[in-house]
């Protein structure tokens, strides 16, 4: 709603123009009137559009406009009215950046055309200004959240610059997590029109922005969060959860309120069917139990043994949902940390570089919040444990039977001149590719590719001592069809080319 002021010393003209404007623009403008420039000055604050007569007692229209231009307040869009088709008035109006110049008696269509253009321009400017303010608020609010050492005085200063509403009755902070189904901007677009409607209905101003984790943050009264939740539930295929802080009085405590909402949101991990989580309810969780360190160590000790069933049953005791769901979320976070430190990290250094899939699983279970809920996390942990379990069994088997590796080395020495690779050798001795790669490196001290290069170059040195073979023939005899590649590998290992080597022997 824009504020419009009509200034004219003739009452009938004031009321006539007012009636025309209300008839056409009642939903867009609030109209006030003044009898001359001096009375207008008393009412000019927050006016968006000024329609003023030129000739008036005490202070005329040009003087009024000049007074407005010289003041500190933002100048409204201005329209001049006059009963005189006088070029001097037109020049003064143009000089003072007047939007239009209308002659009396005012033509209704001309007035409507002028006001329509002004309102469209105001709407466009307001959208740009509000967009800039929103962007500024988003950057500054995130700065407050991300800066761990920010001082209260700095927060107060930034809040003033952001022009945040006073929230006289206090406020709550809510965080809407879209569970990676869409980006935060898309969710915000779905929420904003509904929030705007709620603001009109409740006469309450709501602030919303996207945080550094791409989640939508809302600062408002408590009822808004349930209304937004119910609104989003009407849209199919949107999965989300909401954490809501407790009530706060001062906006300077926004960061504390945000952290409360963030904490409450964590409980979606344990209760995925719920969509709204209150910090106030989370505060009253009973004290958590002691972490079962002995059971977790037992799991680590059983990896690689034949106690598969006991391994799974022990994991069930450690990740007992009934106990976990009755404890603060910190208890589950501690279990996650203990499993990482006492079980998974112990195997991290033992795994070969070829075990890419296991590394991916390790990286994911390291943070339980990489999963949408407890059940997904449990399944991933169990799957990873059983993979490590089987992996460890295989490693023990390989270590106990050195003959497999001896067969592999013998096979390589006998077939070095052929098109060999790790898969061919592992298939020949019937061992898993990843397990064999790891154990081969442990046994020889080199990876397969470097070991094969060394064998081939040693054989090449023997052949180069025999002058009847040309260099390119030696290259083919040791498995290199491309002489340039042979030369490059030879120089890499021996420091000189095959030709130089032959000249020195």
Residue 244 has pLDDT above 90, yes or no: yes
Q: How far is Cα 142 from Cα 150, in angstroms, rounded to an integer? A: 12
Q: How far is Cα 402 from Cα 439, in angstroms, rounded to an integer? A: 10
Same domain, 342 and 386: yes
Per the structure, the complete domain to which residue 379 belongs is given by 293-394
Q: Kindly state whether residue 371 falls inside one of the protein's structural domains.
A: yes
pLDDT value of residue 354:
46
Q: Please give the average per-residue pLDDT across 2-20, as a whole number.
A: 93
Q: Kindly state whether residue 140 falls inside one of the protein's structural domains.
A: no
Residues 6+ apart with CB under 8 A from 286: 326, 327, 328
* DSSP calls for 318-340: HT-HHHHHTS-HHHHHHHHHHHI
Same domain, 219 and 297: no
Q: How far is Cα 440 from Cα 411, in angstroms, rounded to an integer? A: 13
Residue 49 has pLDDT above 70, yes or no: yes
Domain count, the chain: 4
* Residue 505 CB-half CA count within 13 A: 14
pLDDT value of residue 62:
86
Q: Kindly state whether residue 149 falls inside one of the protein's structural domains.
A: no
How open is the CA angle 201-205-210, to the nearest 5 degrees?
120
* Residue 480 CB-half CA count within 13 A: 23
Whether the CB-CB separation of 265 and 277 falls below 8 Å is answered with yes
pLDDT value of residue 403:
76
Q: Kindly state whether residue 184 falls inside one of the protein's structural domains.
A: yes
- Give the CATH number for residue 256: 3.30.70.270
Model confidence pLDDT, tens digit, residues 64-94: 988 888 887 778 999 988 876 655 555 555 5
pLDDT value of residue 34:
95
Q: Please give the average per-residue pLDDT across 128-152, as a whole number.
A: 82
Whether the CB-CB separation of 233 and 214 falls below 8 Å is answered with no
Model confidence pLDDT, tens digit, residues 307-349: 899 999 999 999 999 999 999 999 999 999 999 999 888 776 5
To 10 degrees, what angle do helices 152-162 and 254-265 make? 90
Same domain, 380 and 350: yes
Q: What is the mean pLDDT of the chain?
A: 86
DSSP-derived letter for residue 171 is B
Q: Is the pTM of this model over 0.75?
A: no
Q: How far is Cα 337 from Cα 178, in angstroms, rounded to an integer? A: 26
Q: Kindly state whether residue 130 falls inside one of the protein's structural domains.
A: no
How open is the CA angle 110-101-50, to the nearest 5 degrees?
90
pLDDT value of residue 175:
95
DSSP-derived letter for residue 268 is G
Residue 200 has pLDDT above 90, yes or no: no
């Amino acid at each position: 709603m824009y504020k419009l002021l009509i200034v004219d010393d003739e009452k009938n003209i004031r009321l006539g123009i007012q009636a025309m404007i209300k008839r056409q623009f009642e939903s867009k403008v609030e109209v006030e009137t003044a009898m001359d420039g001096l009375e207008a000055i008393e009412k000019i604050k927050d006016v968006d559009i000024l329609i003023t007569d030129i000739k008036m007692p005490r202070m005329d229209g040009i003087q009024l406009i000049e007074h407005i231009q010289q003041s500190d307040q933002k100048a409204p869009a201005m329209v001049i009215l006059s009963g005189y088709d006088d070029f001097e008035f037109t020049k003064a109006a143009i000089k003072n950046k007047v939007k239009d110049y209308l002659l009396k008696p005012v033509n209704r269509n001309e007035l409507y055309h002028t006001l329509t253009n002004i309102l469209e321009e105001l709407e466009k400017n307001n959208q740009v200004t509000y967009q800039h303010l929103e962007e500024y608020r988003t950057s500054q609010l995130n700065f407050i959240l991300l800066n761990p050492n920010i001082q209260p005085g700095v927060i107060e200063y930034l809040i003033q610059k952001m022009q945040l509403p006073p929230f006289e009755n206090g406020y709550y902070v809510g965080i809407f997590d879209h569970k990676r189904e869409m980006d935060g901007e898309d969710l915000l677009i779905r929420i904003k029109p509904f929030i705007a409607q709620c603001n009109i209905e409740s006469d309450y101003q709501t602030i919303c922005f996207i945080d550094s984790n791409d989640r939508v943050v809302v600062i408002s009264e408590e009822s808004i969060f349930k209304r937004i939740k119910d609104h989003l539930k009407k849209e199919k295929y949107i999965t989300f959860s909401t954490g809501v802080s407790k009530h706060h009085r001062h906006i300077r405590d926004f960061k504390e309120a945000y952290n409360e909402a963030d904490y409450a949101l964590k409980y979606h991990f344990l209760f995925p069917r719920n969509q709204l989580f209150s910090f106030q309810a989370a505060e009253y969780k009973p004290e958590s139990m002691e972490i079962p360190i002995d059971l977790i160590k037992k799991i680590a000790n059983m990896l690689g043994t034949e106690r598969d069933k006991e391994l799974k049953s022990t994991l069930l005791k450690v990740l007992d949902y009934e106990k976990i769901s009755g404890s603060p979320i910190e208890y589950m976070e501690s279990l996650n940390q203990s499993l990482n430190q006492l079980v998974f990290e112990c195997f991290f250094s033992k795994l070969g570089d070829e075990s890419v899939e296991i590394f991916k699983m390790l990286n994911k279970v390291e943070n339980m919040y990489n999963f949408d809920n407890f059940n997904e996390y449990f399944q991933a942990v169990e799957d990873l444990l059983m993979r490590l379990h089987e992996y460890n069994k295989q490693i023990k088997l390989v270590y106990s039977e050195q003959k497999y590796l001896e067969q592999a080395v013998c096979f390589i020495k006998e077939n070095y001149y052929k098109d060999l690779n790790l898969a061919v050798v592992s298939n020949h001795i019937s061992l898993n590719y990843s397990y064999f790669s790891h154990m081969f490196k442990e046994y020889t001290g080199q990876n397969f590719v470097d070991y094969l290069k060394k064998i081939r170059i040693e054989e090449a040195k023997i052949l180069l001592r025999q002058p009847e073979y040309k260099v390119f023939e030696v290259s083919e005899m040791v498995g290199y069809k491309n002489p340039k590649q042979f030369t490059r590998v030879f120089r890499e290992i021996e420091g000189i080319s095959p030709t130089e080597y032959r000249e020195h022997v």
